[in-house]
Every structure is written in C-alpha cells, then in structure tokens.
Amino acid sequence: MLLANDLLIRTQGAIHVIDERNCIDLLKSVGVGRIGITLDALPIILPVNYIYMNLGPDLDGCILFRTDPGTKLDAAFRHSVVAFEVDQIDYDKEEGWSVLVIGSAEVVDDSILEDRAMTSGLHPWSGGMKTHMVAITPKIVSGRRITH
C-alpha cells in the first residue's frame, strides 16, 4: 500500500528530466539567465543577458555575456566553476522548466568571437562600458520540467 500511495503521488504533477540536447535547445531559446558564483565565501546569484553560441562547426557551444569589471568578471578571471540557470515559469498552471549548467567561466580575449557575439545581438542591457565578454563552457548540463 505504501508503494501504491507513493506511485500515486509521484504520478501527480511529476518532475520530468530534460535530456542534454533539449537542454541546449532551451538554452538557445532564452536570452536571460542567472549566474551563481561564490563571492567572499558567500553564494550569490546575478541575472545576465546572454547568448549561447557554438565556437566552431566542430566545437561545443558556450554561454557568452558582457560585463563590467566586478564580481562576475572577478569570478571569470579566476576561471571559477560557476552555475548558470535558465527557466520559464507558468504561474497560473504551476508548471515550468529549468536548465542548470555547471561550467568554467573565463574572459574571452578573441575579437572575432566578440564580433560574432555582438553581430548576434549580445549587448549590455544596462548600458555602461561592459568592456569584457565572459564565456561559460558547460561541463554538466541538466534540466527538469514540471507538467500536470
């Protein structure tokens, strides 16, 4: 009976795993995500507008965003391992999906890639200098979806 009840509960509004390929497609479909880094031993989460771009025909993609020198860039300079999350929530239906990327962040020093990114529409929403571009190369990609 416990098992039956457990199964019953789990089939109500289940959490579905999203495979990596679909996670990447979802990453490409969204323009704002949230980067999670540790700053002064404290975890912080900051939203950034980004693009997901393949670095070459035979290369994997990466998450690119622009930033001013600051916490995000400091993390990037240190080649930090960071979390990057995108999601889409339907409050009325109480449904949604989220994709979590864990990867290494580094400052991009590649003018060709920077030009490609800007041509693809990557620009700082906040104005400001945003003189640096940071790339997050995914190492672990996972996603989940809640549907009813």
Positions in the binding site for its own copies (CB under 8 A): 6, 9-15, 31-32, 34, 36-38, 42-47, 49, 81-85, 87, 89, 91, 94-96, 98, 100, 102, 125-129, 140, 146
| HSE, side-chain direction, 13 A CA sphere, residue 114 | 13
Shortest approach of its own copies to residue 106 CB, angstroms?
16
Q: Compare residues 19 and 90 and give the one whose CB is closer to its own copies.
A: 90
Residue whose CB is less far from its own copies, 31 or 61: 31
- Which is closer to its own copies, CB of 57 or CB of 127? 127
Q: Considering the complex, state which of residue 42 and residue 59 has its C-beta at the smaller distance from its own copies.
A: 42
User: SS in 3 state form for the chain?
Assistant: CHHHHHHHHHCCCCEEEECHHHHHHHHHHCCEEEEEEEECCEEEEEEEECEEEECCCCCCEEEEEEECCCHHHHHHHCCCEEEEEEEEEECCCCEEEEEEEEEEEEECCCHHHHHHHHHCCCCCCCCCCCCEEEEEEEEEEEEEEECC
In angstroms, what is the minimal distance from the CB of 60 to its own copies? 19
Shortest CB 57 distance to its own copies, Å: 29
Minimum distance from residue 109 beta carbon to its own copies (Å):
22
